[in-house]
Amino acid sequence: MMKRALAFLLLATLLGGCTAIKNAFKGSNKENIEPPKVLTEFAPTVTVEKLWTTGVGKGARKTGVHLTPAYADGKLYAISTTGVLEALDATTGRTLWEKKDKKIAYAAGPTIGEGLLVVGTLDGTLFALNPADGSERWHAEVSSELISAPAVDGGMVVARSYDGRVYGFDAANGERKWIFDRNTVPLLSLRGNSAPLIREGVVITGGDNGKVVGLRLTDGVEVWEQVISTGEGRTEIERLQDVDGILQADAGVVYAAGYRGQITALAGNNGRPLWAHDLSSYSGVAISPAAVFANDVDSNIWSLDRNNGTSLWKQDVLGYRWLSPPAVQGDYIVVGDFDGYVHWLNLNDGKLAARVRLTKKPIDSVPLVVGNTVYVQASNGELGAYRIAK
């Protein structure tokens, strides 16, 4: 049964500022919103050390985009919709170089690859920059907003625009090689896009139509498609079926989550379903060698067996705290919440292991794990680095 809080959750955190969507939710009763669970005291079982914190512009503001930094060669790259792009020393948080332009609303990426730092903007511009100093190599235009990180590999830069199109550009000069334009967007959809993946010459991307598709990297020809969210119902709201969350691919298997759909494992070469578990999620999945992890729409965290999708455990202690997508850090799951807290849970049983507070603003972007350090960026631009003590 659809939770009565759904309308306000979607309006406040997922659907952005679309007037048509706002009109669809007029008349909703705020008293129906489920209150977030109160955090309770517990005995930490792991020590988390704060390495540093800093600010990157004003973050995402109220754009509804989710900003996560990128790491390469000891450096961290981070963006803000207020026109700030920074390179930082990943160990100390010290700014190495910075670009500021209030006319540019960075909203996609950053992504590092092919000797490039690639970012996208809310006005549909894709920039390829020199990671050493931020100088421009090339730029290209797409048909609408860029709000999910581009993928860079195999001499190509692949970007997914908000209107459902997927573009392939030559990494060397920005020449557009192809466009995939059959990923239809329904009348209503969640505010977000799944970032494309490139694996073994195939671009894997999720759509607002409930499908995951595989495209040939060289020319954008569809190799396979699979529906993981059917979006059945009498109203447009009930038919929401976005595949907007984090996709994962490992050992020839693709793992995806659909809103009002399933957590699904697909064969990477042909999209054939290997298993599916009914679970509605808009944030996507994380994986360990043994399990797949996902948040459901009520902010319960699930662990599923990677081999067959059976449930290993469910943790509801953070219910309705509107969690960030999960990430795996060693033996722990790490997530942020709407009130600026970062939580660590044990991989094996889901029990809380540690908690820190970065800010008083929401953390809705997936944490970035590099070794035993995790980098967390909040919606206000606050960026923190934390290490699990040995």
Percent of the chain surpassing pLDDT 70: 84
Give CA–CA dist 241/238, Å, rounded. 8
pLDDT of res. 257? 87
Q: What angle do CA 255, 313, 39 make, to 5 degrees?
A: 105
pLDDT of res. 183? 60
Find out whether 92 and 373 touch, Cβ atoms under 8 Å: no
CB-side exposure of 119: number of CA atoms within 13 Å?
29
Give CA–CA dist 192/14, Å, rounded. 7
Write phi, then psi, for 14 (nearest 5 degrees). -125, -30
Given a cut of 90, whether residue 74 has pLDDT beyond it is yes
Given a cut of 90, whether residue 208 has pLDDT beyond it is no
Least confident window among 5-9, 145-149, 176-180, 234-238: 5-9
Domains and CATH numbers, the chain: 58-330 (2.130.10.10)
pLDDT tier, 294 (very low <50, low <70, confident <90, very high otherwise): very high
pLDDT of res. 185? 55
Contacts of 117 (CB under 8 A, 6+ apart): 70, 77, 110, 111, 128, 129, 130, 131, 134
Q: How far apart are the first and last CA of the chain?
A: 44
Give CA–CA dist 82/80, Å, rounded. 5
List, for residues 38-73, the tens digit of each pLDDT value: 999 999 999 999 999 999 999 988 888 999 999 999
Global pTM? Answer: 0.88
